[in-house]
Structure 1
Amino acid sequence: MTLNREWHRAHRMPPRATREQRIKWHVAHAAACACRPVPDSVKADVEKLRKLARRK
């Protein structure tokens, strides 16, 4: 898997991120970087948002 260092530097996960912030971050991360899979704890919600984004 490839790490997109520039994306990671520009898009830090906020400290004490809320669940919604984590989901949004992981949606953006999945689109920009392939360094690791989406964690199981937010995977279902991330997939929902990605599907909604594709429909628009």
Structure 2
Amino acid sequence: MALNREWHRAHRMPLQATREQRIKWHVAHAAACACRPVPDSIKADVEKLLKLHGKT
């Protein structure tokens, strides 16, 4: 999938993001852009939130 530059400009990952911030960012990213895969270290948590919100 192509990079959604506008989304990335408007939704920067916080510096020294906490695990929760990273998970929430990647959930939003998967819905808006998904130009790269979710890191394995948080993939299960991201998938769980996506399922809870009916986005998978």
- TM-score between both structures, scaled by the size of structure 2: 0.93
Residues 2-49 of structure 1: per-residue CA shift (max 9 Å, x gap): 100000000000000000000000000000002101110100000000
Counterpart in the other structure of 1:13? 13
Identity %: 85
Runs (5+) with no aligned partner, structure 1? none
Question: Structure 2: which amino acid aligns with 1:44?
Answer: A
1:43 pairs with 2:43: yes
Structure with more of its chain in helix, by fraction: 1
